[in-house]
Amino acid sequence: MNVNDIKMVGIDQGTSIEIRERVAFNKGVDSALNALKKDDLDEAVILSTCHRSEIYFFSESKSFEDIIDFYIRYFNLDDEFRKYFYCISGLKAVEHIFRVASGLESMVLGEDQILGQVKESLMTSQENGISGKILNKLFRDAISIGKKVRTETGLKNYSSSISHIAVKFVENVFEDLKGKNAFVIGTGEMGKIAIRGLILKGANVSVSNRTYSKVQKLKSEMPDIEIVPYLDKYEQIAKSDIVISATNAPHYTISYDKFYSVYNGKQICMVDIAMPRDIDPKIGGIHGVKLYSIDDLKRTAEENRKKQLNAIKNAEEIVLKGVSEFNNWFKAIKVEPHIKKINIYSDEICDREFDKLVNKLEKMTDKDRENIKISLKRVAEKMANVMIKHLKDDALVMDEISFCIDGSEVKT
């Protein structure tokens, strides 16, 4: 067992949105995990967000190329696509997922949503029976570190999601959102955050979703919004100053032809924060329309990042400490079979010596026997714990350990 068998293959925000949306798993994570299981992969977790598509796996036999081949087959990609993937393993992969969960690798530094996405990715993998001891530990540690970073470094005091940045972005475009007509398409978490932000800025907010019951439910939570039937969305767009789209549809939900047929020439600021994109990018070429994608929000996000240098430093220290602790845990699990052997042997010796002792002593009460048994167990456990401590300490600094239990040599 080697820590370098922890591996990750993926694509992140370092590539263009046109590339990222080609490998977005979205609602297909379950089928992808099952396909990986059929490929004889024992442990895998897929993290798929608007910024990244990453497969984490633990395997001695599967290589980076095997997983890249899986991406190519699963998404029906050209072979040329291989150049966009990045691959990391071992403690670099451990540090990476810790940084991701902490929000250090997000476009919006410290964003809240990514922590929930990391949790969901682990849960989905567990439900599909393809996350084992190593990745369970890795992702649970990542979640714990992500929480710690947010509570101890001050990152949560800044804009913490793409939706917050989107609202700030349109505010920069219009200077003042009070009285502006805003239309939000999508009632998922990103849509809700955008809606709240727009309401706080004084905008008149209308909302639409393909599932009408979801908008009705949202109306009960946010009575200030106006409901727009999904089929009327183009007419509403034409009347709006601001449009923010955040659905999880696998295709464009706002097409060029249908939009152009209702567009009346007024100035509209449109922000597409979906992945894959909701709005046909050709719409951005229409005079009077300003269309921005997730990648266009980077400038605002970078301004926020500059304000958080101290928080970043503290967060990175927490991450590196977590990597060290995970590494110690990983080294220690190599000796778990030997720890089990020590404990079994300790119990056997205790029982054997107890039987010898009670056979020699006469007129013993049941209470005497119980006290003797407890004392022997206590001595045996103390001796075993000393051996186990030395075993774990040695495992942290040695690749191979030889020791003897009951005269038999054991090697790791």
Q: What is the pLDDT of residues 82-99, one digit of tens each?
A: 999 999 999 999 999 999
Supply φ then ψ for residue 11, to 5 degrees.
-135, 135
- On whether the CB atoms of residues 87 and 93 are closer than 8 A, the answer is no
pLDDT of 403 over the 50 cut: no
Please tell me the predicted confidence (pLDDT) of residue 67.
96
Burial of 67 (0-12, 13-18, 19+ CB in 10 A): buried
Q: How far apart are CA 22 and CA 325, in angstroms?
A: 36
| 50, 87, 269, 350: the active-site residue | 50
What is the bridge-based pairing of β-strands 242-245 and 226-227?
A: unpaired
**Token pair 């939900």 is at which residue?**
253
* Residue 70 neighbours by CB under 8 Å, 6+ apart: 35, 36, 39, 55
Average pLDDT (99-111) is: 86
Question: CA dihedral defined by 123, 75, 281, 290, rounded to 10 degrees?
Answer: 20
According to DSSP, residue 90 is labeled H
**What value does the CA radius of gyration of the chain take, rounded to a whole number of Å?**
28
| 286: confidence class by pLDDT, cuts 50, 70, 90 | very high
pLDDT of 120 over the 70 cut: yes
Q: pLDDT tens digit string along 42-83? A: 899 999 988 899 999 999 999 999 999 999 999 999 999 999
Q: pLDDT tens digit string along 300-355? A: 777 777 777 888 899 999 999 999 999 988 988 776 666 677 777 777 778 877 77
Please tell me the predicted confidence (pLDDT) of residue 336.
65
Task: Note if 50 is an active site residue.
Answer: yes
State the pTM of this model. 0.69
| 406: confidence class by pLDDT, cuts 50, 70, 90 | very low
- On whether the CB atoms of residues 193 and 244 are closer than 8 A, the answer is no
Q: How far apart are CA 347 and CA 339, in angstroms?
A: 12
| 194: confidence class by pLDDT, cuts 50, 70, 90 | very high
Q: What is the mean pLDDT of the chain?
A: 86
Single out the residue of 199, 180, 159 nearest to residue 300, CA to CA. Answer: 159
Q: How far apart are CA 13 and CA 111, in angstroms?
A: 14
Higher pLDDT, 112 or 11: 11
| 100: confidence class by pLDDT, cuts 50, 70, 90 | very high
* Residue 298 neighbours by CB under 8 Å, 6+ apart: 107
Please tell me the predicted confidence (pLDDT) of residue 380.
73
According to DSSP, residue 131 is labeled -
Please tell me the predicted confidence (pLDDT) of residue 367.
82
Single out the residue of 63, 54, 32, 56 nearest to residue 134, CA to CA. Answer: 56
| 177: confidence class by pLDDT, cuts 50, 70, 90 | very high
Q: How far apart are CA 190 and CA 173, in angstroms?
A: 20
